[in-house]
Structure 1
Amino acid sequence: MKKCFLLLAAIFLLGWTAQAQVYLIPKGGITSSNVNFDQDLPNQKSNTGFVGGLGVSFPITADNFVAIQPELLYTQKGFKADSYTTFTNPRINYNYLEVPLLLKVNFGEDAFKAFVNGGPSFGYALGGRSRADNQDMRIKFGNDASTSDIMYVDPDNVNRLDIGIQFGIGAGIAAGPGDLTLEARYGIGLTDFNNISGAPDSQNKSKNRVIALMLGYAIPFGGR
């Protein structure tokens, strides 16, 4: 994760030194997420969560047709099912600090713009929450003994780093000095969350899948 943040800082610096028209984009919205297990859980469904953070977009081409957009996001990922381990009707959310590094292509005029984007993402699980009929617990990573309200997950049995690919499509409408943006994005996890030593490969196959709908505001900053 340290390398991801250093790369993010370097991209910010490149935007400044190029004296381009940089856009800062605070954004927030909802996620609909699921986990792709090797074998689905009983009545497994998508779970709703929150996403929010900040992006920065600066052009590669003079007309801003192509831009680079790194982001720093807080993203909730998880799933729902009839049962999972000892839980009944669980709703499980894991909270990730995520850094997407996106290539963005813009279309349209100043009043109305459309865009598509895509690229790799790097997430790190911070913790989470499990809500079920029989328990409501915060999830933390560690080897401590679980209590009635905190469930500790052994960090040796999970992969907290979530590497994936994200694709998005959206539009921006001129509003004041900047643009009001609406974006739909799909994230595909490439790494397995479970990493239980000695377990069959099928038990460790557990990749995140996330659909995000985000509202943002692109603020022009610096440059010409």
Structure 2
Amino acid sequence: MKKIIFLAICLFTVGTVSAQDYYGPRHRPRRYVRQERPHNRYNDNQVKVGITGGLNLANSLDAYDSRFSSSTIAAFNVGLTLDVPVTNYFSFAPELLFSQKGFSADLENAHFTERTNYIDVPLLAKFRLVPGFNFLIGPQLTFLTSQQDTYRDFGSNAITRFNGHEGDQSYVAGVIGVSFDINRNVEIRGRYNIDLARNASNEADLPDFRNQVWQIGLGFKFQ
């Protein structure tokens, strides 16, 4: 009888161990979890088009006339942008902008304000210095489309307005700037651009000058 009980215990033990081994962890189906790489919102190698707009603080530089001292005027810029990545840290960034420029000045007997409208074509190299922060530099082709000059005579207080050059001048300027990516589609922009050659004035009271413009604005990019 004891032999039968002992044999039964042995068989039960062997059966239990075999069952655990069969239904144990090594026979459980493995679950595969797909791990997605975290998306880096700054290293996006897709071509992007966009729109931009902002404030111009425009003035003149290098008047070469002791009688002439100019002041800044407020204007605006608006246009289209393109971002063509070359590497993760460098891209080609041409733009097409409508940009208002000009200056104001106190002459001997009058106050003068010049407002000019330009089509600007910056051809910029864009360097990603750190994630989200970019440095831009390059030339800019700028085409004058219209000009309005305003004289205010101090004696009679009369105001005279007349149109100047229209579409007959073009220049090359230099641009330097920075941008900060708020997210993949929105950026804050800051620029400084200056004409590389002097503008020839047809007015006897006005010297030759160069446009210089500080710009700040927002850019919106789309894929």
The TM-score, its normalising length taken from structure 1, stands at 0.68
Residue identity in the other structure for 1:208: N
| Alignment match, 2:97 | 73
| Alignment match, 1:27 | 52
How many residues matched? Answer: 171
Deviations 1:15-34 (A, max 9, x none): xxxxx611112000111111
Is 1:39 matched with 2:65? yes
Contact 1:22-1:59 at 8 Å conserved across structures:
yes
Is 1:91 matched with 2:113? yes
Deviation at 1:83, TM superposition (A): 2.4
2: CA distance, partners of 1:40 / 1:26: 41
Residue identity in the other structure for 2:72: S
Deviation at 1:180, TM superposition (A): 1.4
| Alignment match, 2:76 | 50
Flag the structure with larger Rg: 2
| Alignment match, 1:128 | 147
Is 1:185 matched with 2:188? no
Is 1:164 matched with 2:164? no
Contact 2:84-2:93 at 8 Å conserved across structures:
yes
| Alignment match, 1:152 | none
Which residue of 161, 164, 175 corresponds with 1:137? 161
2: CA distance, partners of 1:138 / 1:129: 6
Identify which of structures 1 and 2 has the higher relative contact order when contacts are C-alpha pairs closer than 8 Å and 6+ apart. Answer: 1
Contact 2:92-2:126 at 8 Å conserved across structures:
yes
Contact 1:44-1:79 at 8 Å conserved across structures:
yes
DSSP 3-state at the match of 1:90: strand
1: CA distance, partners of 2:150 / 2:196: 26
Distance 1:26 1:169, change over 3 A: same
Deviation at 1:42, TM superposition (A): 4.4
Deviation at 1:41, TM superposition (A): 4.9
Deviation at 1:47, TM superposition (A): 1.4
Deviation at 1:128, TM superposition (A): 2.2
Distance 1:183 1:83, change over 3 A: same
Q: Give ranges in structure 2 of 5+ residues lacking alignment.
A: 1-44, 153-157
2: CA distance, partners of 1:130 / 1:215: 29
Q: Give ranges in structure 1 of 5+ residues lacking alignment.
A: 1-19, 143-154
2: CA distance, partners of 1:42 / 1:108: 43
Deviation at 1:188, TM superposition (A): 1.6
Residue identity in the other structure for 1:163: V
- Runs (4+) of structure 1 moved beyond 3 Å? 40-43
Which residue of 187, 196, 212 corresponds with 1:209? 212
DSSP 3-state at the match of 1:81: strand
Is 1:101 matched with 2:123? yes
Deviations 1:116-164 (A, max 9, x none): 101000101011223343335252437xxxxxxxxxxxx8xxx711211
Deviation at 1:39, TM superposition (A): 2.2
How does 1:7-22 map onto structure 2 within 5 Å?
21-22=46-47
RMSD of Structure 2 on Structure 1 (CA): 2.4
Contact 2:147-2:165 at 8 Å conserved across structures:
no
Contact 1:192-1:204 at 8 Å conserved across structures:
no
Deviations 1:152-189 (A, max 9, x none): xxx8xxx7112111000120111xxx421111101121
